[in-house]
Amino acid sequence: MTKVTYIHPLEHPIHAKVKVPGSKSFTNRALIIAALVNGTTTLHGAANANDSVVLIKLLQQLGMEIESNGDSITIKGNGGKFNSFKGELNVEDAGTVMRFLSALCCIVPGDITLKGSERMHERPIDGLVNALKQLGAKIDYLGKEGFPPVKINGANFKGGKVHVDASMSSQFVSALLMIAPILSNDTDIICGDKLASLPYIDMTISVMRHFGVEVKHDNHRQYFIKGNQQYKATEYNIEGDASSASYMLAIAAVSGSRVEVTNLSSKSLQSDARFADILAQMGCSIMKHDSIEVIGNKELKAIDIDMSDMPDTAQTLAVVAAFAKGYTIIKGLDTLEHKETKRLTALQTELTKMGIECKTHNNSILIKGGKPNGVLINTYHDHRMAMAFAVAGTRIEGISVESPEVVKKSFPEFWNTLISMGIKLELK
């Protein structure tokens, strides 16, 4: 029987301080790099998201010694010298894990099959595979050409010059960047004109810098990494996850409440940390310290905005826009149809069910704000659909979310965090 969580609307505005999980993006990058360190690394404040749990499990299968203690993780790296491995690694529905391990497994001796969930096998990976092949990797598709599952034999993998099409995902570039320093040759990564979600590459470069490796680039069109380097063992503090914070701040926006996320700074490299600025454009007040605070306004204004650098908060914004006066246009959503579900399609379906007029066109969505109705929200096995539409339930009666457990992918404590804020829930 399918579980459903019913959200009771707030009877009055709240004033809440919340802490969100550690950044999944920073955690997964740090895990990959720590595995390549010649020594022991400790990560503090690490994400407990299922994507990170899956990555840890698979690195352990590859022979890494990793111990978790709360939100601290200790990794004994091997300097890139892996023992031979022959077998399957199942990434489930973790996109970053599929992309990052596709590159990492090219330096592991043996034959490795990387597979995932049914949806993962529908998410294109040819841009990364083509780049890895240019560098000498032997990779075969085991199903549909251009999509997982793939079989990898690292073979003659030494670095060099590589052209990568990163218009679909910046993770293709990040995956190459992180393994490049330990390759025997220098690596020169040449990107096309269109680069998806550039801030995530800046995040990758910042983590590499913390571990002692510098990346040079030519206006992000070309990246240069010296070969034969070693990452340095260190301790690394991981900040709060900005994508997770967006739901908390959105609750403030739609309910006229005051919500402060205490473990996220406006100086963060995470592009989603700018979500508060978008809410300010819609009429909210924001305060920035070493934390981010939003003071909501029930009279929200529609906006016209490009979200190409922060697509993971597009669903959150779409739900806020349902309450805003006027027509909101959200553009730059090229990658949304290739995420955990076809997100643009899913947004249009669920908003329409709520009585909100909306239209999608190519990479954008037009939303006419109004008075949404309470309905049962289908999540399509997508964590961000569940959390984004839960925001609406804090304002209007009748919102319930099916398969609430999907939030474990990125924010396992999401529902408990809402309860701690004074939001009443019922599990049915």
The single residue listed with the structure tokens 């240019």 is: 134
Render pLDDT for 285-302 as a digit per residue (tens, 0 to 9). 999 889 999 999 879 999
In the sheet that holds 110-115, the strands lie side by side as 85-90, 110-115, 150-153, 138-141
Q: Based on C-alpha coordinates, what's the Rg of the chain?
A: 21
Strand, coil or helix: 90: strand
Q: Which domain covers residue 110, as residue numbers?
A: 24-237
The reply to whether 87 and 33 lie within a common domain is yes
Closest among 179, 212, 223 to 35, alpha carbons compared: 179
212 and 302 share one domain: no
Give the domain-ending residue among 205, 237, 269: 237
pLDDT at 298: 74
Q: What is the pLDDT of residues 202-253, one digit of tens each?
A: 999 999 999 999 999 998 889 999 999 999 999 999 999 999 999 999 999 9
Residue where one domain finishes, among candidates 186, 207, 237: 237
For position 49, which CATH number holds? 3.65.10.10
The more confidently predicted of residues 117 and 334 is 117
Query: 194, 222, 237: which is the final residue of a domain?
Result: 237
Residues 161 and 140 in one domain: yes
Q: Which residues are catalytic?
A: 312
Residue 336: per-residue pLDDT? 67
Query: Do residues 187 and 257 both lie within one domain?
Result: no
User: Partners of 88 in the beta sheet?
Assistant: 113
Q: Same domain for 162 and 42?
A: yes
Q: Are residues 192 and 275 in the same domain?
A: no
Residues 209 and 277 in one domain: no
**What does pTM read for this prediction?**
0.91
Quote the tokens at residue 221.
């069109």
Same domain, 116 and 263: no
Distance CA 161, CA 172 (A): 15
Confidence of residue 338 (pLDDT cuts 50, 70, 90): low
pLDDT exceeds 90 at position 117: yes
Examine the domain organization and report whether 244 and 392 are in the same domain. Answer: yes
pLDDT in tens, 162-196: 999 988 889 999 999 999 999 999 999 999 777 77
For 154, list phi and psi in degrees, rounded to 5.
Answer: -55, -35
Geometric angle at alpha carbon 253, from 247 and 257, rounded to 5°: 100
Q: Average pLDDT in the 380-391 region? A: 95
pLDDT tops 60 at residue 104 = yes
Same domain, yes or no: 204 and 295: no
106 and 228 assigned to the same domain: yes
Residues 258 and 178 in one domain: no
User: What's the number of domains the chain is made of?
Assistant: 2
